[in-house]
Structure 1
Amino acid sequence: MARFTFKLPDIGEGIAEAEIVAWHVAVGDRVEEDQNLADMMTDKATVEMESPVAGTVVEVAGAVGDQIAIGAALVVIETDAEAGGTEVEAQAEAENPGREEVGALSLSPSGERDETPKAAMGEGPSGTSPTAPLPTLLRSATLPPEGEREQVLASPAVRLRARELGVDLAQVKVADGDRVRHQDLDAFLRYGAGQGYHAPGASRARPDEQVRVIGLRRRIAENMAAAKRHIPHFTYVDEIDVTELEAARAALNADRGERPKLTLLPLLIVAIYRSLPDFPMLNARYDDEAGIVTRSGRVHVGMATQTDAGLTVPVIRDAQDRNVWQLATEIARLADAARANRLTSAELGGGTITVTSLGPLGGIATTPVINRPEVAIIGPNRIVERPVFRGDDVVRAKLMNLSISCDHRVVDGWDAASYVQALKRLLETPVLLFAPG
Structure 2
Amino acid sequence: MGIYAIKMPDIGEGIAEVELVEWRVKPGDEVKEDQVVADVMTDKATVEIPSPVAGKVMELGGQPGQLMAVGSELIRLEVAGEGNVKAGAAKPAKAAVASTLSPDQKDDITVENKSVEPARPASHPHPNPLPPAGEGAKPPAVTPAPRRAPGDKPIASPAVRRRAWELGIELQYVHGSGPAGRIEHGDLEVYLASRGQPQQATPARMRQKDGEEQLPMIGLRRKIAQKMQEAKRRIPHFSYVEEVDVTELEALRAKLNAKFGASRGKLTVLPFIARAVVLALEDFPQMNARFDDDAGVVTRYQPVHLGIATQTDSGLMVPVLRHAEAMDPWTFAKELTRVAEAARSGKASRDELQGSTITISSLGPLGGIVTTPVINHPEVAIIGVNRIVERPVFQGDAVVKRALMNLSSSFDHRVVDGMDAAQFIQTVRALLETPAMLFVE
Which TM-score band (shorter chain)?
Answer: 0.7 to 0.9
**Contact 2:360 2:382 (C-alpha < 8 Å) held by counterparts:** yes
Q: Aligned equivalents of 1:244 and 1:339: distance in 2?
A: 33
Letter in 2 for 1:50: P
Q: Aligned equivalents of 1:295 and 1:411: distance in 2?
A: 12
Q: Paired residue for 2:433? A: 428
Quote the offset at 1:318 in angstroms: 1.0
Quote the offset at 1:315 in angstroms: 0.9
Q: Aligned equivalents of 1:16 and 1:394: distance in 2?
A: 64
**Contact 2:115 2:212 (C-alpha < 8 Å) held by counterparts:** no
Letter in 2 for 1:22: E
SS at match of 1:293: strand
Letter in 2 for 1:277: E
SS at match of 2:204: coil
Give the number of equivalent residue pairs.
343
SS at match of 2:68: strand
Q: Aligned equivalents of 2:418 and 2:85: distance in 1?
A: 69
Alpha-carbon spacing, 1:347–1:203, altered in 2? closer, same or farther (3 Å): farther
SS at match of 1:400: strand
Letter in 2 for 1:407: D
Greater mean alpha carbon deviation, residues 53-62 or residues 291-300: 53-62
Q: Report the aligned-residue RMSD.
A: 2.9
Q: Aligned equivalents of 2:85 and 2:68: distance in 1?
A: 28
Q: Paired residue for 1:77? A: 77
Instruction: Say whether residues 1:50 and 2:50 are aligned partners.
Output: yes
Deviation track 1:238-281 (CA, whole Å, cap 9, x = no partner) reads: 11111111111111111122332211111100001111121111
Among 210, 214, 220, the alignment partner of 2:218 is 214
Q: Paired residue for 1:353? A: 358
Quote the offset at 1:199 in angstroms: 4.3
**Contact 1:243 1:399 (C-alpha < 8 Å) held by counterparts:** yes
**Contact 2:19 2:66 (C-alpha < 8 Å) held by counterparts:** yes
Alpha-carbon spacing, 1:2–1:292, altered in 2? closer, same or farther (3 Å): farther
SS at match of 1:201: helix
* Bigger Rg, structure 1 or 2: 2
**Contact 1:124 1:205 (C-alpha < 8 Å) held by counterparts:** no
Q: Aligned equivalents of 1:374 and 1:281: distance in 2?
A: 10
Q: Paired residue for 1:245? A: 249
Deviation track 1:132-174 (CA, whole Å, cap 9, x = no partner) reads: 49xxxxxxxxxxxxxxxxxxxxxxxxxxxxxxxxxxxxxxxxx
Q: Aligned equivalents of 1:277 and 1:322: distance in 2?
A: 15
Q: Aligned equivalents of 2:291 and 2:236: distance in 1?
A: 13
Letter in 1 for 2:256: L
Q: Paired residue for 1:162? A: none
Quote the offset at 1:342 in angstroms: 1.9
SS at match of 1:40: strand
Alignment of 1:61-72 (within 5 A): 61-72=61-72
Instruction: Say whether residues 1:301 and 2:310 are aligned partners.
Output: no
Q: Paired residue for 2:228? A: 224
- TM-score between both structures, scaled by the size of structure 2: 0.71
Q: Paired residue for 1:325? A: 330
**Contact 2:30 2:57 (C-alpha < 8 Å) held by counterparts:** yes
Letter in 2 for 1:251: K
Instruction: Say whether residues 1:378 and 2:383 are aligned partners.
Output: yes
Identity over aligned pairs, percent: 55
Question: Any gaps of 5 or more consecutive residues in structure 1?
Answer: 90-120, 134-196
**Contact 1:240 1:399 (C-alpha < 8 Å) held by counterparts:** yes
Q: Aligned equivalents of 1:423 and 1:69: distance in 2?
A: 47
Quote the offset at 1:129 in angstroms: 9.8
Q: Paired residue for 2:292? A: 287
SS at match of 1:401: strand
**Contact 1:124 1:204 (C-alpha < 8 Å) held by counterparts:** no
Deviation track 1:23-53 (CA, whole Å, cap 9, x = no partner) reads: 1233444322111111101222111100011
Q: Aligned equivalents of 1:203 and 1:252: distance in 2?
A: 53
Alpha-carbon spacing, 1:214–1:131, altered in 2? closer, same or farther (3 Å): farther
Question: Any gaps of 5 or more consecutive residues in structure 2?
Answer: 91-112, 118-126, 133-200
- TM-score between both structures, scaled by the size of structure 1: 0.72
Q: Paired residue for 1:335? A: 340
**Contact 2:310 2:340 (C-alpha < 8 Å) held by counterparts:** yes
Q: Aligned equivalents of 2:388 and 2:427: distance in 1?
A: 19
Quote the offset at 1:11 in angstroms: 2.2
**Contact 1:355 1:379 (C-alpha < 8 Å) held by counterparts:** yes
**Contact 2:385 2:407 (C-alpha < 8 Å) held by counterparts:** yes
Q: Aligned equivalents of 1:47 and 1:370: distance in 2?
A: 26
Q: Paired residue for 1:364? A: 369
Letter in 1 for 2:19: E
